Amino acid sequence: MTHLPYIGFKWHLNQEGERMKTVHGKTQIFPYVIHRIYNRVPGQVIDYGVQLINAPIVWKETRGEGVKVAVLDTGVDIAHPDLAPNIKGGYNFLDRNDNYADNHGHGTHVTGIIAGTDNGVGVVGVAPRTDIYALKVLDENGEGSESHVIEAIDWAVDNRVQVLNLSFGSQKPNGKLRSVIEKATQAGIVFVAAAGNDATKTVSLDSIDYPARWSDLVITVAAVDRNIKRAPFSSQGPELYLAAPGVDILSTYPRNRYVRLSGTSMAAPHISGAVALILAAARKKSIPNVKPSDVRKVLVKNAIQLGDHNDYGYGFFRF
C-alpha cells in the first residue's frame, strides 16, 4: 500500500449534525467525511479500493474503452489532468447550459473513482479509459431538484449512455423519478446508486434512501472499509445489492487536487466502473444486446458473501 504524505488540512464532518433535512422534491448528496486534501500525490497511486475489486486484472483485456458513463452529481473539474482525457461532454441542468464545472467537489471525486486516467500521475480509476459525461444536477451545496435528475436521465437515454452513477438520495420516493428510471432501464441503461449513510441514525435495518431503495431497478451499493467490513455509517436494509470500498477513498478533487473521502457515495462509483469494464469486455467479445439484468448476473456471480444481506447485499464485488 502506498502511504501518502499529509498535504493540506483535515476536516471531519459530523455524520449526524451535518445532514440537511430532506424536503420532498429535493435530492442531495449524502453526508461524508473529508479525511485529507492533497495538493499532489507522489507519482501515481492505484488506491486500495481499485485493487480490492481486482480491476487491474481486467485491464489486461479492457480499460472501459467505448463505454459511456454519466455521473449525475455536482459537475466535474474538466481541467483536472486525471480526468480531462476521459470527459466527453455533459450538461448543466441547473443553469441550462454547457458549463458543468464542479463548484462543490463531490462530483469530481466520484468521477475519479470511476475513470481516473492512467497517465503516470495522481490516481487511476476502476475503468481508466471509459467515456465520462458530467450531468450537473446538484449545486454548490450538494442539493438539487428531482426534476433536474429526471431531465438528466432523459438526456442519458437520448445520448445512448450505458451506465448512470447516482451518489445522492432522498428520504422520500418520487413516482415520476421511478418511472423515468424504469424507462431508462428498458432502454438498456444500468443504474448504480449509493445506499446512503443513515445507519447511525436508526436502530432498524431499514435506512436506505431513494432511489437506492428501488433495488429492482438500480444496483444498490453499501460501503465497506479496507478490511472489507461494513462501514458504521453505511445504510442497511433488504434492498442492498452489493458492497464496495467506501472508507478513506483517494480520488480527484477540484483545482487539480486529490482528497480522501468516506461514504457510500464513494462505494457506488467502484461498481459503476466495474460495470463499465464488464460492458467493454462484452463489446470486445462482440456479445450483443447485453441487458441490465445480464450485468446484474455477472456482478452477483463475482460477489463474495460476507454476512447478513441487510449489511452487505449479495456480498463484496471482486473480479
Q: Where in the sequence numbering do the catalytic residues fall?
A: 73, 106, 265
Show the CA angle centred on residue 285, arms to residues 134 and 71, nearest 5°.
10
The count of C-alpha atoms lying within 13 angstroms of the C-alpha of 124, restricted to the half-sphere facing its C-beta, is: 21
DSSP-H helix ranges across the chain: 48-52, 55-58, 106-115, 146-158, 175-186, 264-284, 292-301, 309-312
Task: Give the C-alpha separation, 319 to 299, whole Å.
Answer: 9
Return the DSSP state at 39. Answer: S
Whole-number Cα distances in Å, 307 to 116, 150, 304, 315: 31, 35, 9, 8
Phi first, then psi: what are they for 102, rounded to 5°?
-90, 115
| Nearest Cα residue to 110 out of 35, 44, 231, 29 | 29
Interatomic CA distance for residues 298 and 70, integer angstroms: 21
User: Residue 1: which of 74, 40, 52 has the closest Cα?
Assistant: 52
Grid coordinates representing 34?
473529508
